[in-house]
């Protein structure tokens, strides 16, 4: 299996907005110097230019460099005080402003250190957004979620979800996966499965069968687990690896340094420091005593460095220049950084916050854990992990905005765009209002899992006090709805004391409740015998029906027989599934059970192929032969030999009858200015 970094091509963070000084400050950096203002300014500008280009063009040699600044050291000392005794509360993970400039919020370790391999959070559920381009009539569209989603190539179970998942789908990994930022050299979080830690992902109906009105109304994909890929100090920012492709493939990240840029930056600093030394000891300069004095000041060294750094204002897209430490970095600081591991480490110390900082800026994210809901038909749910007093934060929830919910419409054909057949599953995980096209979808740990209780909810949503863009409350959706970063947040807040283990519920609103009741009333069990393949595979004692009893290989599910039960030489086309390293990897053949021996629980099996019947919309079964025999028939085949796969687009959430409705934002919370004339009638 390839590495995580090469397989991810998408996720998260808001565009990094480099914070650059203006060009004027570059031109005369020494204007405040006490002596020889004009001469020194010109001289330094000239020398700097020479040195900068000399360093840039002759980058070579090995890195060495920067030490933590004094401020960073203080902060580090604070954060390494005994965390178990000094923390205000026991919290494993925080949401707080990211260390990365312009990246919005990030996820931070709580008051305890994590060891390499430790699990960091409850598993993420994963929501597929499929065929978005096709359903939007192949037009370009704005979808902020694209910045927060992961490539489906990460998730083997997506293979059977739609026909071409790798091209057409992306996965919303709604908890950690959506909240965590990436700083390539400081990645400290790994994906449990993809990075070889084991087998986290799973498909599950969470106890809701396909015969329930809840079937297909929530995602079957869960179990994405994140672990520490190195030891992590308390209050450190957590960084996952989005892969270099994420940054190189998006113009808004043109200035984000890649690994290679940090290496070049290290070499550049090495050359720069050598040149500076050489200049100071230059024989002709040595004769000018006043200039020698000047050159030996820290001020001069800082200004030289600033001259180089502030050229970022000209070469805004230089990843290399952005890999260099910021303005006013002194020579001893550069030396220290190089010793500390090079430019890639420059934000290491600033990524570790103090307890006081976290108390002021952070919101605890780990008050809840996941499980199967107690509510009939509801799927999974969120449960209190600790006692949460009335009025306290249950969970912080940054919001991804979708200015026009019609983007989530799903069609069978495009002839009548005003009457969609269905909606993307994501709709069920977002909040809306009857008089607006706007949807606000919360992310953050397990917020997606909070279920509805109309009568006795223990939690409510309220606007957070920590919005990135509070001004949006006074602006119409047209003014901010297309911003390519998020700006609003909810807090889920306890309506009463909540005991550990209690399921967290909110009221989704009267319209949701009415729609659900109507759905339950009308639900007519459209697939009475259907069981998804991923459930059949888990049933060790499954009695395989023969094709005289049921036709499930023609509808919704395909049945395969594992190769090692077969004679070696015959002509049927084998299928290969999954990744080579996986236990199940191997050759499979489509097959069907012909008869069953009830005593030995073994089967007589025919190997088949399915052939598309043109224009008939179904398949014909061709029975395969072996050498000169008319059919390939195998005897005494045990249950273990059978393996099921879902036919694309047949899982419950693709069924047009599966329930769709957004959760509702209460009227008294919804600003009038966000109401739209163009109200969407269908939901
Ligand atoms: C925000 S999601 C909640 C998480 C969801 N239970 C899951 O397993 O992913 C909202 C969806 O959960 C289900 N749900 C939540 N509350 C429910 C309830 N009281 N009764 C039935 N289904 C419910 C519905 O399918 C709804 O569309």
**Cα-based distances in Å from 445 to 122, 133, 176, 363:** 8, 28, 6, 12
| Helices vs strands, H then E, count in the chain | 19, 29
Burial class (CB within 10 angstroms; exposed 0-12, middle 13-18, buried 19+) of 677? exposed
Digit-coded pLDDT (tens) for 556-602: 888 888 877 776 656 556 666 655 555 555 678 888 998 999 999 99
Neighbours of 260 (CB within 10 A): 12
Digit-coded pLDDT (tens) for 609-626: 777 666 555 667 777 776
Q: Angle between the 298-309 and 331-340 helix axes, to the nearest 10 degrees? A: 60
Q: How confident is the model at residue 210 (pLDDT cuts 50, 70, 90)?
A: very high
Cα 46 from Cα 54, distance rounded (Å): 12
Cα 661 from Cα 212, distance rounded (Å): 17
Query: Average of pLDDT values for 59-67?
Result: 34
Cα 643 from Cα 585, distance rounded (Å): 12
Which region among 223-237, 270-284, 348-362 has the lowest average model confidence (pLDDT)?
A: 270-284
Angle at 131 between CA 171 and CA 167, to 5 degrees: 70
Q: How confident is the model at residue 448 (pLDDT cuts 50, 70, 90)?
A: very high
Separation of CA 118 from chain center: 19
Cα 60 from Cα 275, distance rounded (Å): 13
Q: At residue 53, does pLDDT exceed 70?
A: no
Neighbours of 319 (CB within 10 A): 20
Q: Quick check: is 637 in a domain?
A: yes
Residue-level pLDDT at 89: 58
Cα 121 from Cα 447, distance rounded (Å): 13
Residues 6 or more apart in contact with residue 567 via CB below 8 angstroms = 626
Which region among 330-344, 416-430, 557-571 has the lowest average model confidence (pLDDT)?
A: 557-571
Q: Determine contact, residues 630/640, Cβ cutoff 8 Å.
A: no
Query: Average of pLDDT values for 37-50?
Result: 40
Identify the bridge partners of residue 611 per DSSP, sorted by sequence position.
620
Digit-coded pLDDT (tens) for 69-79: 333 444 444 43
Q: At residue 3, does pLDDT exceed 50?
A: no
Cα 6 from Cα 411, distance rounded (Å): 33
Q: Determine contact, residues 526/435, Cβ cutoff 8 Å.
A: no
Note whether 539 and 641 are same-domain residues: yes
Greater model confidence, 141 or 681: 141
* 376 CA → ligand 1 middle, Å: 10
SS (H, E, C) 208-229: CCCCCCCCCCCCCEEEECEEEC
Q: How many percent of the chain have pLDDT more than 70?
A: 80
Note whether 59 and 93 are same-domain residues: no
Q: Quick check: is 100 in a domain?
A: yes
Mean pLDDT of the chain: 81
* 77 CA → ligand 1 middle, Å: 45
Which residues line ligand 1 at a C-beta cut-off of 6 Å?
A: 125, 206, 214, 217-219, 373, 375, 377-381, 428-429, 448-449, 451-452, 516, 659
Note whether 333 and 395 are same-domain residues: no
Identify the bridge partners of residue 503 per DSSP, sorted by sequence position.
383
Q: Quick check: is 359 in a domain?
A: no
Q: Determine contact, residues 180/94, Cβ cutoff 8 Å.
A: no
Q: Quick check: is 140 in a domain?
A: yes
Check which CATH number belongs to the domain holding 453 and give it: 2.170.270.10
Q: At residue 220, does pLDDT exceed 80?
A: yes
The helix/strand/coil state of 371 is strand
* 218 CA → ligand 1 middle, Å: 6
The helix/strand/coil state of 11 is coil
Residues 6 or more apart in contact with residue 129 via CB below 8 angstroms = 143, 145, 149, 169, 170, 171, 172, 424, 426
E strands, 41-164, in order = 93-97, 105-109, 124-130, 150-151
Instruction: Indicate the Cα dihedral angle 249, 250, 256, 258, nearest 10°.
Output: -10
Q: How confident is the model at residue 543 (pLDDT cuts 50, 70, 90)?
A: very high
Query: Average of pLDDT values for 33-43?
Result: 31
Q: At residue 481, does pLDDT exceed 90?
A: yes
Note whether 574 and 606 are same-domain residues: yes
Site to probe by mutation for ligand 1, drawn from 202, 379, 423, 440 as the one with most ligand atoms within 8 Å of Cβ, is: 379
Note whether 55 and 120 are same-domain residues: no
Q: How many percent of the chain have pLDDT more than 90?
A: 51
Q: Report which protein residue has its CA nearest ligand 1's atom 20.
A: 378
Task: Indicate the DSSP class of residue 501.
Answer: T
- Report the nearest atom of ligand 1 relative to the CA of 217: 25
Give which of 148, 172, 176 is closest to 158, Cα–Cα.
172
Long-range CB contacts for residues 197-205, cutoff 8 Å, separation at least 24: 197/117, 197/225, 197/227, 200/123, 200/224, 200/225, 201/126, 201/155, 201/156, 201/157, 202/157, 202/534, 203/157, 203/532, 203/534, 204/534, 204/535, 205/379, 205/532, 205/535, 205/652
* 380 CA → ligand 1 middle, Å: 7
Does the model's ipTM exceed the 0.90 cut?
A: yes
Cα 515 from Cα 659, distance rounded (Å): 9
Q: Quick check: is 132 in a domain?
A: yes
- Report the nearest atom of ligand 1 relative to the CA of 219: 9
Residue-level pLDDT at 72: 41
Q: Report which protein residue has its CA nearest ligand 1's atom 15.
A: 451
Digit-coded pLDDT (tens) for 376-410: 999 999 999 999 999 999 999 999 999 999 999 99
Note whether 117 and 191 are same-domain residues: yes
Q: Determine contact, residues 558/647, Cβ cutoff 8 Å.
A: yes
Cα 299 from Cα 40, distance rounded (Å): 12
Digit-coded pLDDT (tens) for 628-641: 677 788 899 999 99
Q: How confident is the model at residue 553 (pLDDT cuts 50, 70, 90)?
A: low
Strands 150-151 and 124-130: unpaired
Residue-level pLDDT at 412: 85
Q: Quick check: is 125 in a domain?
A: yes
Q: How confident is the model at residue 169 (pLDDT cuts 50, 70, 90)?
A: confident
* 157 CA → ligand 1 middle, Å: 22
Give which of 86, 24, 91, 210 is closest to 646, Cα–Cα.
210
Note whether 96 and 210 are same-domain residues: yes
Cα 593 from Cα 200, distance rounded (Å): 32
**Where on the phi/psi map is residue 122: left (φ > 0), alpha (ψ -120 to 50), or beta?**
beta
Q: At residue 357, does pLDDT exceed 80?
A: yes
* 452 CA → ligand 1 middle, Å: 7
Which range, 27-36, 323-332, 419-428, 664-673, is most confident?
664-673
Q: At residue 42, does pLDDT exceed 70?
A: no
Separation of CA 320 from chain center: 26
Q: Report which protein residue has its CA nearest ligand 1's atom 9.
A: 218
- Report the nearest atom of ligand 1 relative to the CA of 660: 27
Give which of 633, 381, 337, 659 is closest to 521, Cα–Cα.
659
* 3 CA → ligand 1 middle, Å: 34
Q: Report which protein residue has its CA nearest ligand 1's atom 2.
A: 429
Q: At 584, list the tokens.
A: 């199940």
Residue-level pLDDT at 45: 42
Phi, psi (deg, nearest 5) at residue 423: -135, 155
Strands 633-638 and 587-597: unpaired
Cα 166 from Cα 153, distance rounded (Å): 6
* 448 CA → ligand 1 middle, Å: 9
Note whether 173 and 122 are same-domain residues: yes
How many domains, the chain?
4
- Report the nearest atom of ligand 1 relative to the CA of 452: 16
Q: Which of 176, 209, 244 is the last residue of a domain?
A: 244
Q: Report which protein residue has its CA nearest ligand 1's atom 27.
A: 428
Greater model confidence, 195 or 274: 274
* 449 CA → ligand 1 middle, Å: 7
Cα 241 from Cα 183, distance rounded (Å): 8
Q: Determine contact, residues 16/307, Cβ cutoff 8 Å.
A: no
Angle at 618 between CA 611 and CA 561, to 5 degrees: 55
Q: At 243, list the tokens.
A: 């892969």
Note whether 425 and 494 are same-domain residues: yes
Name the residue with tokens 């459209």.
526
Residue-level pLDDT at 383: 98
Site to probe by mutation for ligand 1, drawn from 452, 516, 653, 663 as the one with most ligand atoms within 8 Å of Cβ, is: 452
* 401 CA → ligand 1 middle, Å: 20
Q: Which of 202, 217, 244 is the last residue of a domain?
A: 244
Note whether 435 and 485 are same-domain residues: yes
Note whether 602 and 483 are same-domain residues: no
Q: Quick check: is 518 in a domain?
A: no
Q: Which residues of 651-672 are buried (b: 16+ CB within 10 A; e: fewer)?
A: bbbbbebbbbbbbbbeeeebbe
- Report the nearest atom of ligand 1 relative to the CA of 214: 25
Identify the bridge partners of residue 368 per DSSP, sorted by sequence position.
384
Residues 6 or more apart in contact with residue 281 via CB below 8 angstroms = none
Q: Determine contact, residues 280/301, Cβ cutoff 8 Å.
A: no
* 274 CA → ligand 1 middle, Å: 63
Residues 6 or more apart in contact with residue 521 via CB below 8 angstroms = none
Q: At 107, list the tokens.
A: 């996820």
Strands 169-173 and 189-191: unpaired
Q: Which of 223, 244, 265 is the last residue of a domain?
A: 244
Q: Quick check: is 440 in a domain?
A: yes
Domain that holds residue 23: 4-67+255-345
Residue-level pLDDT at 554: 59
Note whether 555 and 499 are same-domain residues: no
Q: How confident is the model at residue 303 (pLDDT cuts 50, 70, 90)?
A: confident
């Amino acid at each position: 299996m390839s590495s995580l970094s090469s397989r991810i091509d998408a996720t998260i963070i808001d565009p990094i907005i480099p914070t650059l000084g203006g060009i004027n400050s570059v031109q005369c950096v020494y204007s405040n110097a006490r002596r020889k203002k004009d001469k020194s300014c010109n001289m330094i500008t000239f020398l700097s230019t020479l040195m900068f280009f000399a360093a840039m063009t002759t980058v070579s040699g090995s890195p060495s460099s920067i030490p933590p600044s004094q401020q960073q050291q203080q902060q580090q000392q604070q954060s390494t005080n005994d965390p178990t005794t000094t923390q205000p509360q026991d919290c494993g993970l925080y949401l707080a402003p990211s260390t990365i400039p312009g990246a919005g919020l990030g996820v931070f370790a709580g008051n305890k250190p994590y060891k390499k391999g430790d699990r960091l959070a409850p598993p993420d559920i994963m929501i597929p957004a499929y065929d978005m381009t096709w359903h939007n009539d192949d037009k370009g569209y704005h979808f902020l979620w694209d910045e927060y989603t992961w490539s489906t190539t990460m998730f083997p179970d997506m293979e059977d979800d739609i026909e071409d998942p790798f091209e057409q789908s992306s996965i919303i990994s709604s908890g950690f996966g959506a909240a965590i930022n990436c700083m390539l050299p400081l990645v400290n979080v790994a994906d449990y499965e993809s990075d070889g830690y084991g087998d986290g992902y799973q498909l599950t109906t969470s106890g809701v069968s396909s015969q329930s009105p809840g079937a297909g109304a929530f995602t079957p994909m869960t179990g994405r687990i994140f672990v520490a890929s190195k030891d992590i100090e308390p209050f450190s920012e957590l960084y996952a690896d989005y892969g270099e492709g994420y940054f190189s493939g998006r113009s808004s990240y043109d200035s984000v340094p890649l690994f290679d840029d940090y290496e070049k930056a290290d070499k550049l600093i090495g050359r720069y420091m050598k040149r500076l030394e050489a200049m100071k000891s230059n024989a002709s300069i040595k004769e000018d005593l006043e200039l020698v004095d000047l050159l030996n000041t820290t001020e001069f060294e800082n200004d030289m460095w600033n001259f180089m750094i502030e050229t970022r204002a000209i070469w805004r897209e230089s990843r290399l220049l952005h890999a260099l430490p910021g303005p006013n970095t002194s020579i001893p600081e550069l030396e220290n950084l190089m010793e500390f591991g090079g430019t890639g480490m420059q934000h290491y110390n600033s990524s570790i916050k103090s307890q006081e900082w976290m108390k002021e800026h952070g919101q605890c994210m780990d008050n809840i854990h996941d499980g199967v809901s107690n509510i009939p038909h509801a799927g999974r749910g969120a449960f209190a992990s600790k006692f949460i007093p009335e009025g306290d934060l249950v969970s912080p929830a940054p919001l991804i905005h979708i200015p026009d919910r019609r983007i989530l419409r799903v069609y069978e054909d495009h002839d009548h765009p005003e009457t969609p057949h269905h909606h993307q599953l994501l709709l069920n995980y977002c909040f809306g209002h009857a008089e607006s096209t706007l949807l606000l979808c919360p992310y953050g740990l397990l917020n997606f899992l909070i279920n509805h209780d109309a009568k006795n909810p223990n939690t409510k949503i309220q606007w957070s006090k920590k919005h990135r863009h509070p001004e949006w409350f006074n602006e119409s959706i047209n003014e901010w709805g297309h911003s390519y970063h998020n700006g609003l947040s909810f807090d889920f807040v306890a309506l009463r004391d909540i005991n550990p283990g209690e399921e967290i519920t909110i009221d989704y609103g009267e319209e949701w409740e009415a729609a659900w009741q109507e759905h339950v009333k009308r639900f007519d069990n459209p697939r009475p015998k259907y069981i998804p393949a991923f459930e059949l595979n888990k049933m060790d004692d499954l009695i395989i029906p023969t094709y005289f009893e049921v036709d499930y290989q023609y509808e919704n599910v395909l049945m395969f027989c594992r190769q090692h039960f077969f004679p070696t030489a015959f002509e049927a086309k084998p299928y290969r599934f999954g990744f080579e390293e996986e236990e199940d990897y191997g050759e499979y053949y489509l097959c069907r059970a012909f008869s069953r021996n009830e005593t030995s629980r073994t089967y007589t099996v025919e190997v088949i192929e399915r052939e598309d019947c043109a224009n008939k919309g179904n398949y014909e079964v061709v029975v395969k032969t072996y050498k000169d025999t008319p059919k390939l028939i195998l005897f005494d085949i045990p249950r273990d030999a059978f393996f099921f796969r879902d036919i694309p687009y047949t899982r419950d959430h693709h069924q047009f009858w599966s329930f769709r409705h957004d959760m509702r934002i209460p009227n008294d919370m919804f600003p009038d200015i966000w109401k739209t004339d163009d109200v969407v009638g269908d939901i």
